[in-house]
Amino acid sequence: MSGIAGIVDSRGVAYPLYYALHALQHRGQEAAGISTFDGRAFFMHKGPGQLSDVFCEKVLSRLAGNVGIGQVLYTQKAHRGRTENIQPFNFNFKDHKLSITVSVALINREALRSEYEEKGHIFSSTTNAELIAAMIAHELIAGVSAEEAFVNTMQRLSGAYAGVAILDGVLYAFRDPLGTKPLCYGKTEFGYVAVSESVALDILSATFEADVRPGELLTITEDGVSHRQVLESDHKAYCVFEYVYIARPDSVIDGVLVYDARRKIGACLAKNPPKADLVSPVPDSGIAFATGYASASGIPYIEGLLKNRYVGRTFIMPTPTLRENAVRMKMNPVRRHVAGKSVILVDDSIVRGTTSLRIVDMVRDFGAEEVHMRIGSSPIVAPCYFGIDLATREELIAAGLDVESIREKIHATTLQYVSTEELVASIGIPAEDLCMGCSTGRFPLDIPGECTGCCRKITPAK
Ligand code: AMP
């Protein structure tokens, strides 16, 4: 999923990029990078870890220029830990200078990659961003304009993507024709900002201008933004999981305040509440849902679990037993809130079921008499092909079990998921414009081996 930002600012871009990426840190913690351009050359710094591990004042002060891009990287398991995949990537070829970073999952990646390898291109990473850069470079070398190079490249990509690039000093921002990956832009006193989520505009005191339209290419300079609709689709496929889990609740994505969607989902879950003493979120992802549940049901909102903010990554724990205890390190029940009580716990999703099982057991260990689990997404029955690590079908607990069997496995007193209809109504975007592949098994693009009954029709824009 990753978080991306591109900025044009006459006062310099390194610090604004740092702040924007900081607001997007939840979208990727594996690595971070910033590339800036001063009219002659690129300046770049990138490395593994969170933004604050990678950047310090001294480094930022060296990143000169009034245009720049950056990324906080999230990669799927298969590509994790490969430092060569850290973005942005910078390229100099012929008379061109290109820097690019993309949050992307391509369906036609293998075919495109082998086509470009056969054309003589050699890749130094496994990223789609490098592949897209190669495609843009080939277009430019064939003699088309900068804008046409992006247009022709977008027309050949099949998948979900949001990207920002600097080509010969000009900033470009582009979004997939189904709108699966979020991207919006805003205006500051001294320039423009394109970012994955609106929270990154807030931190820069930028005025929100618009979401980049699905299939749109923006060309951004200090003088303004020009729009080109490159691709059109009969229906969109906005990612439901952005609203349920990925995005920050204070972001507005394609017109929907994420917090509102989650509160409404919580209220839907509260239609037939069990007799309970308190509603508690599983922090932090369950908070907005739980507030909606509590106000709709009238059951008091009391935190039965608190999160330790300072827990690092769990893989640094040296033994399997310690890793098993990762959930315990992240969260601690409030004994006096849960002991002897009937507790409703609200979380965003169950993927493999490991987290829910540990949490339910932990709350019971602290004396809860009943633990009712409520989940803000529909059961996840299929993997995601668009860049979200949701495990394989074999690992997904809901792919093989019905709700009652899942309840038993996670030791909950009762278990309820939000229905697909309520989920859609809470988000407020029509079902035919949402990607719900992970909960319906029906995907908006042609995925080999998957149900293709609801593929969107994508055409070049007129
Ligand atoms: P699991 O233990 O596999 O059932 O994971 C479910 C928990 O992980 C939930 O509490 C979610 O908040 C969180 N989660 C859901 N999707 C993801 C994801 N793609 N990456 C990391 N964590 C996730």
Q: Which residues sit with their C-beta closer than 6 Å to ligand 1?
A: 245, 282, 285, 347-356, 388-390
Looking at residue 52, its amino acid is S
Residues of the chain with CATH 3.40.50.2020: 243-440
Cα–ligand 1 centroid distance for 390 (angstroms): 8
Q: Which atom of ligand 1 is nearest to the CA of 357?
A: 2
9 labelled ligand-binding: no
384 labelled ligand-binding: yes
Residue 79's pLDDT is 72
Residue 310's pLDDT is 81
Rounded to the nearest 10°, the torsion over CA 244, 247, 250, 253 is -90
451 labelled ligand-binding: no
For the stretch 71-109, pLDDT in tens is: 999 887 777 778 899 999 999 999 999 999 999 999 999
Cα–ligand 1 centroid distance for 324 (angstroms): 15
Give the chain's length: 462
Question: b vs e for 303-313, b when ≥16 Cβ sit within 10 Å of the residue's Cβ?
Answer: bbbebeeeeee
Helix axes 258-269, 287-297, angle to 10 degrees: 50
**Percentage of the chain exceeding pLDDT 90:** 90
Say how many C-beta atoms besides its own lie within 10 A of residue 110's C-beta.
Answer: 9
Which tokens is 298 given? 């009238």
Q: Are strands 434-435 and 238-239 parallel, antiparallel or unpaired?
A: parallel
Cα–ligand 1 centroid distance for 5 (angstroms): 25
Question: b vs e for 386-395, b when ≥16 Cβ sit within 10 Å of the residue's Cβ?
Answer: bbbebeeeee
435 labelled ligand-binding: yes
For the stretch 325-335, pLDDT in tens is: 777 888 999 99
Cα–ligand 1 centroid distance for 447 (angstroms): 23
CATH of domain 3-233: 3.60.20.10
Residue 315's pLDDT is 47
Residues of the chain with CATH 3.60.20.10: 3-233
CB-based contact 380:439 (threshold 8 Å): yes
CB-based contact 178:242 (threshold 8 Å): no
Q: Which atom of ligand 1 is nearest to the CA of 348?
A: 12
Q: Which atom of ligand 1 is nearest to the CA of 1?
A: 19
Sheet with 184-188, edge to edge strand ranges? 42-48, 31-37, 67-73, 3-9, 191-195, 184-188, 207-211
Cα–ligand 1 centroid distance for 31 (angstroms): 20
> How far lies 338's CA from each of 14, 230, 305, in Å?
47, 55, 9
CATH of domain 243-440: 3.40.50.2020
297 labelled ligand-binding: no
Q: Which atom of ligand 1 is nearest to the CA of 355?
A: 2
Taking the C-alpha atoms of residue 49 and residue 46, their distance in angstroms, rounded to an integer, is 9
pTM, 2 dp:
0.95
Task: State the sign of the Cα–Cα–Cα–Cα dihedral 254, 259, 264, 269.
Answer: positive
pLDDT less than 70: residues of the chain: 312-324
